[in-house]
Amino acid sequence: MKSDRLQRLSEHLRGTRYSRMDDLAREFGVSLATIHRDVQELVRRGVVKKVHGGATSLLPAMIDVTGGFGGGHFLQRMEMQRESKSRIAERAEAEIENGDIVFVDSSTTGMFLARRLQETRFANLSVITNSVLVSQEFHRFPPHYVLVCVGGNFNVHLNSFLGQLALDNLSRLQVTKAFVSCAGVSDDSLTTYHEEHAVFLRGVLAMARKKYLLVDRSKFGKTGLYEICSLAEIDQVISE
């Protein structure tokens, strides 16, 4: 399958750091045209850079991916559970209506939802985020959408703005629907590995009229250090 080949190609480039296009075509047993298309798709996802005659990975060479939110480069986490996150994003999009004020968090699943929203054509939609990556793609959204990035202290692990300043900025806004994720769901609690992340999401959920949890099945049974809220406080869980 193409998705499997793309994953293997990303891992191969991360290990070799640089490969020529013809070498990649031979390695994966595909035509040169196919490998060019595959590399271009990884470029679009932000994990690979095309260079003269070949491609190089933008991901760190050695990454601990076992910790979810607790470890691992954000761009690499974008490559994990891609099909599940795509299905979750599709189901989340179906919950959004014209006129909504939507908060999308800094999770990789939130990024998948944001990219789906770039293709929607609501007459009136507002999107609020604390995600650096989502805000960098604001130019891809329909120009009449209201787009707001909540500023604050930058957290490199989550590629997002957090802290009291972010909460203060958020408090001036209205949110009809909040879409958030977490590191784990266990014992009827949502948890994360970062204290300020937990504090920020509690603030988001407190002000949202309807609260959605976007989480793939790999997160169930896992527990982070800090509780965000109880599962009972979430209006709807969206999973694959």
Same domain, 97 and 169: yes
User: CA–CA separation, 181 vs 152, rounded Å?
Assistant: 19
pLDDT in tens, 213-232: 999 988 999 888 899 999 99
Q: Are 100 and 185 part of one and the same domain?
A: yes
Classified as helix, coil or strand, 60 is: coil
In tens, the pLDDT along 81-133 reads 678 899 999 999 999 999 999 999 999 999 999 999 999 999 999 999 999 98
**Whole-number Å distance between alpha carbons of 14 and 219:** 25
Q: Are residues 76 and 114 in the same domain?
A: yes
CATH code at position 35? 1.10.10.10
Q: What pLDDT is stored for residue 73 in this prediction?
A: 53
Same domain, 36 and 99: no
| Full-model pTM | 0.70
Question: Hey, what are 47's tokens?
Answer: 């994990």
Q: How many structural domains comprise the chain?
A: 2
Check whether residue 16 and residue 77 sit in a common domain. Answer: no
In a domain, 37, yes or no: yes
Does residue 175 share a domain with residue 81?
A: yes
Q: Do 52 and 77 reside in the same domain of the chain?
A: no
User: Do the domain assignments include residue 142?
Assistant: yes
Facing residues of 104 across strands?
129, 179
Specify if 62 maps to a domain. Answer: no
Mean pLDDT of the chain: 87
Cα–Cα–Cα angle for 143, 145, 149, nearest 5°?
A: 105
Q: Which residue has the tokens 């979810």?
A: 68
Pairing verdict, β 54-57 and 226-230: unpaired
Strand ranges, E, within the chain? 18-20, 48-51, 54-57, 101-104, 126-129, 146-149, 153-155, 160-162, 175-180, 184-186, 189-192, 208-214, 226-230, 236-238
Q: Is residue 208 part of a domain?
A: yes
Report the CATH number at residue 200: 3.40.50.1360
- Regarding whether 173 and 86 lie in a shared domain, the answer is yes
Residue 3 is predicted with a pLDDT of 67
Backbone φ and ψ for 175, nearest 5 degrees, come out as -135, 120
Range of the domain at 102: 68-238
Considering the domain boundaries, does residue 224 fall inside one? yes
**Residue 63 falls within a domain, yes or no?**
no
Q: Do 29 and 83 share a domain, yes or no?
A: no
128/41 same-domain check: no
Q: What is the DSSP letter of 46?
A: T
CA 45 to chain centre: 11
Higher per-residue confidence, 65 vs 2: 2
Q: What would the pLDDT profile of 35-46 be if each residue is shown by its tens digit?
A: 999 999 888 877
Beta-bridge partners for 162 = 153
Picking from 119, 92, 102, the residue whose alpha carbon sits closest to that of residue 215 is 92
Closest CA to 186 of 92, 68, 72: 68
